[in-house]
């Protein structure tokens, strides 16, 4: 009730919201840094798993790497299969919308070339 009686309450809330939205562009580098850090830690974890499997099961580096990468390869394969099935069932209409941005590519979906007239 105290906040509603303040005549500047709505202006303060709008001012704080404006400041929050101004932080979004400046935090892009921080988000990129965090994503890079997560990726580096993921690779580090995979290397440690490989060394652990090599030591415990007395396997070669190639076999240990294959064992460590089985689950990520299955996940990527399932995602690609889902995308392929999605394209098959939508009859490729999604791709047409995606390629509209590539009108600058020669021979693409840009303006048709004029036919040469015989002289």
- For the record, the structure tokens of 37 come out as 């850090």
- For the record, the structure tokens of 67 come out as 């064992």
Domain-embedded: residue 37: yes
Residues 87-103 pLDDT 10s? 888 877 767 666 666 66
Domain-embedded: residue 31: yes
Residues 52-64 pLDDT 10s? 999 999 999 999 9
Q: Residue 80: what pLDDT?
A: 93
Taking 80 as the threshold, does the pLDDT of residue 21 lie above it? no
Domain span at 62: 26-93
pTM of the model: 0.47
Domain-embedded: residue 106: no
CB neighbourhood size of 49 (10 A): 15
How many domains does the structure of the chain reveal?
A: 1
**The dihedral of CA 57, 62, 66, 69: what is its sign?**
positive
Polymer length in residues for the chain: 119
Domain-embedded: residue 118: no
Domain-embedded: residue 111: no
């Amino acid at each position: 009730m105290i906040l509603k009686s303040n005549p500047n309450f709505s202006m303060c809330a709008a001012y704080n919201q404006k400041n929050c939205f101004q932080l979004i562009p400046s935090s892009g580098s921080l988000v990129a840094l965090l994503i890079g850090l997560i990726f580096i830690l993921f690779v580090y974890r995979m290397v440690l798993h490989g060394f652990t499997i090599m030591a415990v099961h007395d396997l070669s580096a190639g076999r240990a790497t294959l064992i460590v990468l089985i689950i990520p390869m299955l996940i990527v394969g399932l995602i690609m299969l889902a995308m392929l099935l999605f394209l098959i069932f939508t009859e490729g209409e999604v791709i047409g919308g995606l390629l509209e941005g590539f009108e600058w590519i020669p021979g693409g979906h840009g303006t048709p070339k004029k036919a040469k007239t015989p002289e």
